[in-house]
């Protein structure tokens, strides 16, 4: 096969793939997802943000409702210092009796931080920025803000505050996909 024939074949294949991608985007334009984020540990901050940003990349309308400890993900200072909980985590490479020792959360958090850096995985801050840039609505539960005495000014500016459970449930009822993380 000549270079010109190879180039023509590649261009034809690119056209086919672009058409397939357009079809997927068109089919997904009406899709929506709501995620409820309830935990604020490092390992539990990744799933809602990765799922939200990925769905948004496919053109989905995405909302993540953060409640209880999940609010730490939206807190500008706390989101930079999320810890990994070693106790009761069956995926940890240390037994619970060792994980319960003072300082083990710090050790396992450093281990995970090293693994994240080695794999060039996006940080929580980078995932939040991606979500904000892609139009994901990140909501903070008003009842939890009041209960836990959070200062609304400590959340990222793009966070929607003052959202109640009734609003989140109504949004979930209309969504194609509902997830509790």
pLDDT digits (tens, 9 = 90+) for 27-47: 545 899 999 999 999 989 999
Which architecture, in CATH terms, is 31-180? 3-Layer(aba) Sandwich (3.40)
Maximum mean pLDDT: which of 2-11, 18-27, 101-110, 147-156: 147-156
Residue ranges of alpha helices (H) inside the chain are 3-28, 42-57, 96-99, 104-118, 124-133, 142-147, 165-174
Q: Could you give the 3-state DSSP secondary structure of residue 155?
A: strand
Q: Could you give the 3-state DSSP secondary structure of residue 167?
A: helix
Smallest CA-to-CA distance from 30 within 54, 63, 61, 62 is with 61
CA atoms within 13 A on the CB side of 138: 28
In this model, does residue 94 exceed pLDDT 70?
no
Return the pLDDT at 90: 65
Return the pLDDT at 40: 93
pLDDT tens per residue, range 12-25: 898 888 888 877 76
What's the residue count for the chain? 181
- What is the pLDDT confidence band of residue 96, given thresholds at 50, 70 and 90? low
The answer to pTM > 0.85 is no
Return the pLDDT at 144: 96
Contact 83, 41 (CB under 8 A): yes
Return the pLDDT at 89: 66
Give dist(CA 9, CA 1) in Å, integer. 10
Contact 48, 35 (CB under 8 A): yes
In this model, does residue 174 exceed pLDDT 80?
yes
Domain boundaries, the chain: 1-29, 31-180
pLDDT tens per residue, range 118-142: 999 999 999 999 999 999 999 999 9
pLDDT tens per residue, range 42-67: 989 999 999 999 999 999 999 999 99
Find all residues with CB under 8 Å of 3, minimum gap 6, and list them: none
Q: Which residues pair with 64 in a beta bridge?
A: 35, 138
């Amino acid at each position: 096969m000549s270079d010109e024939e190879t180039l023509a074949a590649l261009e034809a294949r690119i056209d086919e793939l672009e058409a397939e991608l357009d079809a997927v985007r068109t089919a997904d334009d009406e899709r929506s997802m709501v995620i409820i984020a309830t935990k604020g540990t490092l390992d539990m901050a990744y799933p809602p943000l990765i799922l939200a940003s990925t769905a948004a990349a496919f053109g989905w309308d995405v909302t993540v409702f953060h409640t209880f400890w999940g609010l730490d993900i939206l807190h500008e200072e706390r989101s930079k210092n999320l810890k990994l909980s070693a106790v009761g985590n069956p995926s940890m490479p240390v037994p619970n009796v060792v994980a319960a020792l003072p300082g083990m959360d710090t050790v396992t958090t450093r281990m995970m931080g090293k693994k994240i850096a080695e794999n060039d995985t996006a940080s929580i801050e980078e995932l939040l920025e991606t979500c904000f840039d892609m139009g994901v609505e990140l909501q903070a539960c008003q009842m939890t803000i009041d209960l836990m005495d959070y200062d609304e000014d400590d959340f990222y500016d793009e966070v929607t505050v003052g959202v109640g459970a009734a609003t989140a449930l109504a949004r979930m009822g209309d969504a194609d996909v509902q997830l509790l993380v």
